[in-house]
Structure 1
Amino acid sequence: LELMERSGVICTPGSSFGSLGEGYVRMALVLPPEKLWEAVESIRESGILL
């Protein structure tokens, strides 16, 4: 939720897919590449994932 609030990008916690997903996030990559890069940049600028 914090990632969405700070970056505008919606992700699912990796832990939703079992214990091996701990520490990861999952997102659907269904947009054109330029939009995906915008999302990556928004996440980077949010500073939440280090």
Structure 2
Amino acid sequence: MPKIAILAGEASGDLIGSQLMGHLNKKIKNVKFVGVGGPLMKKEG
């Protein structure tokens, strides 16, 4: 299972991070995310 760390310190980073997570969830099976973000990233996993 791949593990990817993403850090976002502001609202625009949260948006971009959540979009990236959404795309990666579709492309990679069983991907796990760790890091710091906001509500949008939390919603993606």
TM-score with structure 1 length normalisation? 0.37
Q: Which has the higher strand share?
A: 2
TM-score with structure 2 length normalisation? 0.39
Larger RCO of the pair (alpha carbons < 8 Å, separation 6+): 2
